[in-house]
Structure 1
């Protein structure tokens, strides 16, 4: 209060100069300068038990020695910054609190959700002591190298570029949407209409260029290649079926770094044509050369719809085209074009089957962390952020224990026969509510991928990746029951949770996928649902 009084003191008011002088007078303060503040003791609660420790380092050493949780190793392995460490700590505490004494820390994706920025333990002394835990590395024991600094700067620039690109796209689209229409009676109407169409085409071209530009950076390719569920599946299928690739001509659509092309070349392909429309193709070409595969792999830059192919037909098309919710980015359209234009009649698509699955989300903390979070942010009411919160499809990792029914496939694609028109659809689903769940809070969608060995191979409708593996096929799932992938899952939170559901109740509905107007690589996704024969509810989300 004294500091506040001094700050508000009027220098022209001399009536209270004595009181001010008294406050500032230090003549009677002799001896106080030698008194040291008592060092405040802290109590740090263990991540795994109710045991407490006098310091964060002692507690974390105990966790490493007795529970196999090495935060120093994880920090280095996942390149965690301060907020990353906060998320990790709160993720572990929430897992242990839920009864999981051996939380999975195999992937950074598991604890990237913003909900883990909120402390699980009130006044958690560990969170305030993390700087002290890593002070050695910060003070010189493990100095940041110049390369690491450059990497951090590059990551920052990439993030800024992404934000800038999205702002430019949004501004262009808004400007076009808000353009006043020219009256039809005007003699200039045809010219104005032509100009408007030209502007829209230019905006579309700019968005398309931005899309391919985003794939010219290392970060996105690093995350995909490090996704071992994804990359191992392609590698295993190619290497385990070398007889399919021996002396064959292969087309890799959207080759990126060239990793799949090099797998095919190593498996015995006679020739591999690697196509990509981003600047990453230059790195792919260098990667091919460094591995001595330049005689087998030819890299071409351009859209598959526009490049000059060196051969009329290919025997195999390999591509990793899947996006969030399977169809985000619309890259599969280009793969279909390549198939219809270049694949031999008995040619093979790798992979050959994809299915979108859905399950209900119930009794989850996700809604509280994503929606209710804004009601109290460090003591501030930030509910203004909720204006369109329920319209955004979330990409997150979901705990399988929060699924209130067995998933069902609502879209199944045979990649040898699927047409572009099949990718805009309305499909029904029927789910049977499990016992032990109360409130429907949304839906979760993911996809399964299966690699067949021939065009004629029959894959039974509804087959899951797990079932395919049991049949000896190569497959992987991006669902909650499997190890997390970089695709995670897509979550559709409903505005008003629906209660009164009991075991055995049927939840019927439909899922609609539509390409977003003006941004064809994004999706508008609508889900309608109803309990039994009750009146259906529906909601629209954007996957952008």
Structure 2
């Protein structure tokens, strides 16, 4: 019983830390969304200040170099197949921008859908070379190009028909990518262009499932090598 109480206390402490971090990130997103039109126009016409770049924790981007993170997302069939369906339907003869490309799979879906050109942005230095190699292996016609760096730093005179990003995290906003996606949208999306996804809703419900919670907490992760990496959604 004492061990169970200690586990519950540790879980509560961890949850409190995560809630505090989520609250902080929600506040940042709220500030971004409440910018007035003049400030948005100013941001869209110039690069972000150096202090914005230097304030980003490098560990945030390095964390995305872990293959198990991308394995978890790729194994989410509902998520991945929904993106594939949308991009195969919408991308024909379109110019597509993928913000936070990761392994490059969404960019490759756009290429499969007939995109006229596609740009994949990846800010994680350890991950960018992997994305580059996967794009090269699956895009023989070189429709897609990779930009290594933050999306706020990407500059072009050619706006995009479609901007796609997998920016959602726990509780929808946990990864704190939405401000970057909105910044790119305001600068680089053509009038009448399409965001994928275009809309999101957040709902909250309460549940108690102590047994399942402890089972999930002690579950051993399956090694990433068990995934059939040689054929991931046909690539």
TM-score, normalised relative to structure 1: 0.29
* Structure 2 match to 1:221: 70
Partner of 2:203, secondary structure, is strand
Cα distance, 1:330 vs structure 2: 1.1
- Unmatched 5+ residue regions in structure 2? 1-6, 9-50, 218-235
Q: Distance in 1 between matches of 2:213 and 2:86?
A: 39
Partner of 1:359, secondary structure, is coil
Match among 289, 295, 318 for residue 142 of structure 2: 295
Match among 248, 251, 254 for residue 97 of structure 2: 251
Cα distance, 1:333 vs structure 2: 0.6
Q: Distance in 1 between matches of 2:212 and 2:147?
A: 48
* Structure 1 match to 2:151: 304
Partner of 1:354, secondary structure, is coil
* Structure 1 match to 2:190: 344
Give matches, 1:61-460, under 5 Å. 205=54, 208-239=57-88, 241=89, 244-278=90-124, 279-293=126-140, 295-309=142-156, 311-361=157-207, 364-366=208-210
Partner of 1:355, secondary structure, is coil
Q: Distance in 2 between matches of 1:233 and 1:281?
A: 24
Cα distance, 1:280 vs structure 2: 1.3
Q: Distance in 1 between matches of 2:107 and 2:212?
A: 44
CA offsets, 1:195-246, max 9 Å, x none?
Answer: xxxxxx79x947621000101221111111111111111112222x1xx311
TM-score, normalised relative to structure 2: 0.65
Q: Distance in 2 between matches of 1:223 and 1:365?
A: 23
Cα distance, 1:308 vs structure 2: 3.3
Are the structure 2 counterparts of residues 365 and 222 from structure 1 closer, same or farther at C-alpha, using a change threshold of 3 Å? Answer: closer
Partner of 1:317, secondary structure, is strand
**8 Å Cα contact 1:250-1:269 kept in structure 2:** yes
CA offsets, 1:235-268, max 9 Å, x none?
Answer: 12222x1xx3111100000000100000000100
**What RMSD in Å do the two structures reach over aligned CA positions?**
2.8
Q: Number of matched residues?
A: 168
Partner of 1:272, secondary structure, is strand
Are the structure 2 counterparts of residues 286 and 346 from structure 1 closer, same or farther at C-alpha, using a change threshold of 3 Å? Answer: same
Cα distance, 1:307 vs structure 2: 2.4
CA offsets, 1:311-338, max 9 Å, x none?
Answer: 4311000110001100112101100000
Are the structure 2 counterparts of residues 219 and 369 from structure 1 closer, same or farther at C-alpha, using a change threshold of 3 Å? Answer: closer
Answer 1 or 2: which has greater helix percent.
2
Larger Rg belongs to:
1
Are the structure 2 counterparts of residues 344 and 367 from structure 1 closer, same or farther at C-alpha, using a change threshold of 3 Å? Answer: same
Partner of 2:60, secondary structure, is helix
Are the structure 2 counterparts of residues 216 and 369 from structure 1 closer, same or farther at C-alpha, using a change threshold of 3 Å? Answer: closer
Q: Which has the higher contact order (CA 8 A, sep 6+)?
A: 2
Are the structure 2 counterparts of residues 335 and 207 from structure 1 closer, same or farther at C-alpha, using a change threshold of 3 Å? Answer: closer
**8 Å Cα contact 1:288-1:294 kept in structure 2:** no
CA offsets, 1:249-299, max 9 Å, x none?
Answer: 000000001000000001000000000100212111111111134520000
Are the structure 2 counterparts of residues 218 and 269 from structure 1 closer, same or farther at C-alpha, using a change threshold of 3 Å? Answer: same
Q: Distance in 2 between matches of 1:365 and 1:267?
A: 42
CA offsets, 1:139-186, max 9 Å, x none?
Answer: xxxxxxxxxxxxxxxxxxxxxxxxxxxxxxxxxxxxxxxxxxxxxxxx
Are the structure 2 counterparts of residues 269 and 369 from structure 1 closer, same or farther at C-alpha, using a change threshold of 3 Å? Answer: closer
**8 Å Cα contact 2:108-2:139 kept in structure 1:** no
Q: Distance in 2 between matches of 1:349 and 1:369?
A: 35
**8 Å Cα contact 2:111-2:139 kept in structure 1:** no
**8 Å Cα contact 1:265-1:293 kept in structure 2:** no
**8 Å Cα contact 1:254-1:275 kept in structure 2:** yes
Q: Distance in 2 between matches of 1:365 and 1:270?
A: 49
